[in-house]
Amino acid sequence: MYTMNISFKDKVVIITGASGGIGQGMVKLFTEDEAIVIMCARRGTVEAAEELRAQGYRAYGYSLDITDREAVKNVMADVAEKFGKIDILINNAGINVGPDQRNFVDNFSDEWWDKILKVDLDGTYNCTKLAVPYMPEGSAIVNISSIVGLVPLRNQCAFAAAKAAVNNFTQAIAMELAPRKIRANVICPGTIGIAVTNELWKENSAMAGLLSHIPMGRQGTPEEIANATAFVASDAASYLTGAVIPVDGGWTCGGFARNF
């Protein structure tokens, strides 16, 4: 008989970007499944973890700038010392420009280019490089990218470049780590209904029209991204590595709107 083996009980799970909407959905899923969840973000995680522990969950917060390699090194070492291992690394932290900063390449902000590449790409590299030494056989890395890394959008050259690089980085490390029985995969969310995107949709009527390009006719939810991430991280996906998986309601196969 075939069974779906999805259990995270006692697994040590590190989630970056844990204070954002998608990150919060992941924290909820993994804590409720009895994992030991390490919440990392620049702010808010220490207090949020304390609240979760008061409810009986095993959550621990670190204030972490993932672009600070030494700080990342210290967090990974501290987690490994306290809990003995790192079973799952979810590189969820990332940034993009808002509508006011979007521009063609010749007018794109150098400051934003540097910032996005540093957080989205370098941050993913830092966390991966420094977590892997503590990851046993059967561990998993899940990098949260974007459909923009698959089909780029105009006016977002930095985000498109960073996320495409994350996709290829993940496939490269999947090959490197496979002999050590560590898997690495990518989840590429489409438009997800979190506070930031909801505000953008309210303020920009053109964005609302994008629903017509999504075959499922709606935005996704943080819970749906968390569910996809959990499957990829679980033992049920034990033969899955190097995959780049869009979770976008069919957007990338249904007429992707580029002028956005």
The dihedral built from the CA positions of residue 44, 46, 50 and 56, taken in this order, carries a sign that is: positive
The dihedral built from the CA positions of residue 92, 65, 242 and 146, taken in this order, carries a sign that is: positive
- Provide the pLDDT for residue 46: 94
Mention every residue, 6+ apart, whose C-beta is less than 8 A from residue 46: 61, 62, 63
Cα separations (Å) of 187 from 106, 126, 142, 208?
30, 19, 7, 24
SS3 185: strand
Surface-to-core class of residue 107, CB atoms within 10 Å of its CB (0-12 exposed, 13-18 middle, 19+ buried):
exposed
- Provide the pLDDT for residue 197: 54
Task: Please give the Cα distance from 70 to 154 (Å, whole number).
Answer: 35
Question: Which region, left, alpha or beta, applies to residue 84 given φ > 0 means left and ψ of -120 to 50 means alpha?
Answer: left
- Provide the pLDDT for residue 193: 84
Strands (E), 145-222: 183-189
- Provide the pLDDT for residue 208: 63
- Provide the pLDDT for residue 213: 79
Three-point CA angle 23, 233, 88, nearest 5°: 70
Task: Please give the Cα distance from 85 to 105 (Å, whole number).
Answer: 43
- Provide the pLDDT for residue 207: 62
Q: How much is the CA Rg of the chain, to the nearest whole Å?
A: 18
User: pLDDT for 55-71, tens place per residue?
Assistant: 999 999 999 999 999 99
Task: Please give the Cα distance from 64 to 221 (Å, whole number).
Answer: 25
- Provide the pLDDT for residue 200: 56
- Provide the pLDDT for residue 236: 96
- Bridge partner list, 246: 188
Question: What does the DSSP assignment read for 55-68?
Answer: TT--EEEEE--TT-
- Provide the pLDDT for residue 173: 99
Single out the residue of 207, 209, 203, 191 nearest to residue 260, CA to CA.
Answer: 207
- Provide the pLDDT for residue 194: 66
Mention every residue, 6+ apart, whose C-beta is less than 8 A from residue 73: 130
Domain annotation for the chain: domains and CATH numbers = 12-192+222-244 (3.40.50.720)
Mention every residue, 6+ apart, whose C-beta is less than 8 A from residue 114: none
The pTM of the full predicted model, rounded to 2 decimals, is 0.92
- Provide the pLDDT for residue 19: 92
Q: Which residues of the chain have pLDDT under 70?
A: 1, 98-99, 103, 194-209, 254-260
Question: Which region, left, alpha or beta, applies to residue 221 given φ > 0 means left and ψ of -120 to 50 means alpha?
Answer: beta
